């Protein structure tokens, strides 16, 4: 068996320890004589799995009691619709557009009500986070929406926008559990888990209880109502059971690493290795304004498309996978999520140095 260094933006690298443990439990989960994949989601064994996963996530993120944790399906993209359907009481919401994902969320919200684009960084291909300290927040906005870490462009909100008292809704798909957050600053925090937590198929929604009501847009399907999932403990219908089980293992792994404070320190150290190299390289350069750099997704270019392609090809041959940039951006992108070990980044930088020496 040989494992590569996987820099994929998602689905992405998972802790090896977690995969091994899941492999050991594959055929017989703790004496049940069956795999978690084969188990009723109403069984005692599964009930324990999902409730423990929730409890561990609550502990990791210090989630207050007046927030619900929902394990749903449909990916982050389904939340683009679910959020306006459930939260647009006045039919108005403000969107800060800092990348493709925020733009898609904004476009989806336009289907359901009056969505206002109150700030954008599209003028410079989303390479920075706009100043959000004094935005023209709409009087009657039901919420203000952000994508906190922009997976494709590699930017991150270092301070949350001033929402002037309005509810903040954040897509944290690609920075979920990468550092501590103050949950009380948000009305809704959500993300697809396939970036920084687990396998594709699960989306986690952390939502303040007062936002969960029967008062949703007319025509909202039952499955797209937060209330039905909250009232049923994420077991209204069959949940993505195996995916939640793996997420639960990752939560335990994170606790063992020292929790989110420790992950933040680890992630800062790891990202600095790559950014410090990019800042002094004569060949490679980062594409994002320095103060807005993501700790999770690091896009970079040589400035020459052919050389970029050569780099991606040679890197792959050397065991560094999925370094090709997003199809809309080009160049390279290294996604260095929680589960990417420090030596993966150290070895990548060594390889980049060698490539630079050979291609000057």
Ligand X SMILES: *Cc1c(COP(=O)(O)O)cnc(C)c1O
**x/- track of binding to ligand X for residues 92-121 (CB under 6 A):** ---------x--------------------
Write down the catalytic residue from 56, 68, 94, 101: 101
Q: For residue 10, state whether it binds ligand X (rule: CB under 6 A).
A: yes
- The CA-CA-CA angle for residues 326, 330, 334, to 5°, reads 60
Q: Indicate if 253 belongs to the active site.
A: no
- Least Å distance between CB 234 and ligand X? 17
The most distant pair of C-alpha atoms in the chain lies apart, rounded to whole Å, by: 63
Rounded to whole angstroms, the Cα distance separating 99 from 116 reads 15
Q: What is the DSSP string of 69-80?
A: EEEE-SHHHHHH
- Least Å distance between CB 100 and ligand X? 8
What is the bridge-based pairing of β-strands 168-171 and 144-147? Answer: parallel
Rounded to whole angstroms, the Cα distance separating 250 from 253 reads 5
Q: What is the DSSP string of 194-226?
A: TTTTS-TT-EEEEEEGGG--S---TT--GGG-H
Please check whether residue 168 is in contact with residue 183, taking contact to mean a CB–CB distance below 8 angstroms.
Answer: no
Q: Indicate if 171 belongs to the active site.
A: yes
Q: Smaller CB distance to ligand X: residue 77 or 120? A: 77
Q: For residue 177, state whether it binds ligand X (rule: CB under 6 A).
A: no
Instruction: Give the range of 86-94, 167-175, 326-334, 339-347 binding ligand X by CB under 6 A.
Output: 167-175
Judged by CB under 6 A, the residue of 15, 161, 192, 331 near ligand X is 192
Judged by CB under 6 A, the residue of 127, 155, 174, 335 near ligand X is 174
Write down the catalytic residue from 56, 94, 142, 171: 171
Instruction: Starting at the earlier edge strand, list the strands of the sheet with 203-208.
Output: 67-72, 203-208, 188-192, 168-171, 144-147, 92-97, 114-120
Q: Smaller CB distance to ligand X: residue 22 or 105? A: 105
> Hey, which residues between 320 and 359 contact ligand X (CB under 6 A)?
none
Q: Smaller CB distance to ligand X: residue 129 or 352? A: 129
Please check whether residue 84 is in contact with residue 279, taking contact to mean a CB–CB distance below 8 angstroms.
Answer: no
Instruction: Give the range of 117-125, 171-179, 182-190, 270-278 binding ligand X by CB under 6 A.
Output: 171-179
Rounded to whole angstroms, the Cα distance separating 153 from 145 reads 18
Q: Smaller CB distance to ligand X: residue 75 or 330? A: 75
Rounded to whole angstroms, the Cα distance separating 243 from 228 reads 21
Please check whether residue 338 is in contact with residue 265, taking contact to mean a CB–CB distance below 8 angstroms.
Answer: no
Please check whether residue 274 is in contact with residue 348, taking contact to mean a CB–CB distance below 8 angstroms.
Answer: yes
Q: Smaller CB distance to ligand X: residue 293 or 349? A: 293
- Least Å distance between CB 103 and ligand X? 11
Task: Please identify the residue of the shown chain whose CB is closest to the bound ligand X.
Answer: 75
Q: Which tokens sit at 4?
A: 């590569």
Instruction: Give the range of 33-41, 75-83, 249-257, 346-354 binding ligand X by CB under 6 A.
Output: 75-83
Q: In angstroms, what CA-CA distances link 307 with 127, 172, 299?
A: 22, 33, 15
- Least Å distance between CB 169 and ligand X? 12
- Least Å distance between CB 328 and ligand X? 13
Q: Which tokens sit at 299?
A: 């896009």
Q: Indicate if 195 belongs to the active site.
A: yes
Q: Which tokens sit at 26?
A: 């594959």
Q: Smaller CB distance to ligand X: residue 284 or 325? A: 325
Q: Cis (ω within 30 of 0) for the bond into 11?
A: yes
**x/- track of binding to ligand X for residues 115-154 (CB under 6 A):** --------------------------------x---x---
Q: For residue 199, state whether it binds ligand X (rule: CB under 6 A).
A: no
Residues that bind ligand X (CB under 6 A): 10, 75-77, 101, 147, 151, 171, 173-174, 192, 195
| Active site amino acids | 101, 171, 195
């Amino acid at each position: 068996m040989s494992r590569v260094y996987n820099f994929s933006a998602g689905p992405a690298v998972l802790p090896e320890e977690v995969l091994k443990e899941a492999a050991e439990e594959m055929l017989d989960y703790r004496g049940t004589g069956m795999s978690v994949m084969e188990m009723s989601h109403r069984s005692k064994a599964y009930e324990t799995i999902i409730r423990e996963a929730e409890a561990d996530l609550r502990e990791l993120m210090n989630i207050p009691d007046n927030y619900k944790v929902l394990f749903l399906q449909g990916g982050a993209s389904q939340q683009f619709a679910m959020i306006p359907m459930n939260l647009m009481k006045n039919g108005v919401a403000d969107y800060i557009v800092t990348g493709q994902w925020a733009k898609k969320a904004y476009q989806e919200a336009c289907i359901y009500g009056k969505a206002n684009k109150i700030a954008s960084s599209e003028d410079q291909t989303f390479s920075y986070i706009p100043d959000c300290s004094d935005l023209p927040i709409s009087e009657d906005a039901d919420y203000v929406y952000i994508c906190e870490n922009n997976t494709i462009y590699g930017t991150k909100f270092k301070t949350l926008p001033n929402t002037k008292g309005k509810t903040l809704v954040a897509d944290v798909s690609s920075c979920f559990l990468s550092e501590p957050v103050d949950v009380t600053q948000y009305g809704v925090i959500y993300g697809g888990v396939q970036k920084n937590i687990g396998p594709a198929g699960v989306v986690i929604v952390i939502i303040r209880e007062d936002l969960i009501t029967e008062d949703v847009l007319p025509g909202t399907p039952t499955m797209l109502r937060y209330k039905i999932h909250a009232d049923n403990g994420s077991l209204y219908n069959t949940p993505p059971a195996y995916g939640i089980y793996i997420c639960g293992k990752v939560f335990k792994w994170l606790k063992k690493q020292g929790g989110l404070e420790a992950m933040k320190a680890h992630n800062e150290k790891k990202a600095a290795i790559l950014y410090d190299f990019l800042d002094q390289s004569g060949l490679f350069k980062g594409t994002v304004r320095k103060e807005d750099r993501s700790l999770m997704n690091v896009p970079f270019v040589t400035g020459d498309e052919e050389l970029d392609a050569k780099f991606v090809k040679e890197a792959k041959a050397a065991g560094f996978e999925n370094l090709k940039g997003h199809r809309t951006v080009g160049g390279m992108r290294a996604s260095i999520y929680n589960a990417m070990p420090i030596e993966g980044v150290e070895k990548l930088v060594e390889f980049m140095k060698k490539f630079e020496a050979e291609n000057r």
